[in-house]
Structure 1
Amino acid sequence: MVIQMNSDRAVFLVNEMLGVSILVSAPLLIGTLIVGLLISVFQVATQIQEITLTYVPKLAVSALILLVLGSWMLGLITQFARSAYSTIPTLGQ
């Protein structure tokens, strides 16, 4: 038994997957980017060249973002997974 997937359906699933991954990763990436830029400006202004200075604030911001938005991120991933699994029985049609 050969199951064929329509190319439109495959493109839709990949597009939906990329959209969900962008939505889930954007808050962490933007938060750490802003903190990294602020610390870089601070290091340039004060001429403090400590390499490890950026890690602790980025880690703290990442943890804070995950605490605040973690349930939303997990819900979004779960919703996508459920919709992807629900389309499995219709793939052979």
Structure 2
Amino acid sequence: MQQELVLTIGQRMLEVTAMLAAPLLVPALLVGLLVGMFQAATQINEMTLSFIPKLAIVGIALVIAGPWMLTLLISFTQELYQNIPAMIG
């Protein structure tokens, strides 16, 4: 197996992982920041207050970005299967 091929596959894997995680993590981060600012302004220190909005926004983001994420994951898997002959030979 060629060293360049392994490094390319590893780099592509990390890119796909970041692309799959970003649509869920970025909205959760922004909602958490907004809830944190609201809690700081009103001095409400309830730990569960930020959980429900984050859960809701992650669910909404998953419904919106889910088809794109699935397409990305399927194309990456197909790309891996197409590279199997190059890995063996």
**Short-chain TM bin:** over 0.9
TM-score (normalised: structure 1): 0.92
One of 12, 32, 35 as aligned partner of 1:36: 32
Distance 1:48 1:30 in 2: 24
Q: How many residues align?
A: 89
Instruction: Give identity over the alignment, percent.
Output: 40
Q: Is the counterpart of residue 13 in structure 1 residue 9 in structure 2?
A: yes
Specify the structure having the higher radius of gyration (Cα): 1
Q: For residues 23-43 of structure 1, what are the alpha-carbon distances to aligned partners after superposition, in whole Å with 9 as ceiling and x for unaligned?
A: 110111111000000000000
Q: Give the structure with the larger helix fraction.
A: 2
Q: Is the counterpart of residue 23 in structure 1 residue 19 in structure 2?
A: yes
Corresponding residue for 2:47? 51
Corresponding residue for 1:80? 76
Query: Unaligned stretches of 5+ in structure 2?
Result: none
Say what the alpha-carbon RMSD is for the aligned residues. Answer: 0.7
One of 52, 64, 69 as aligned partner of 1:68: 64
TM-score (normalised: structure 2): 0.96
Distance 2:5 2:47 in 1: 47
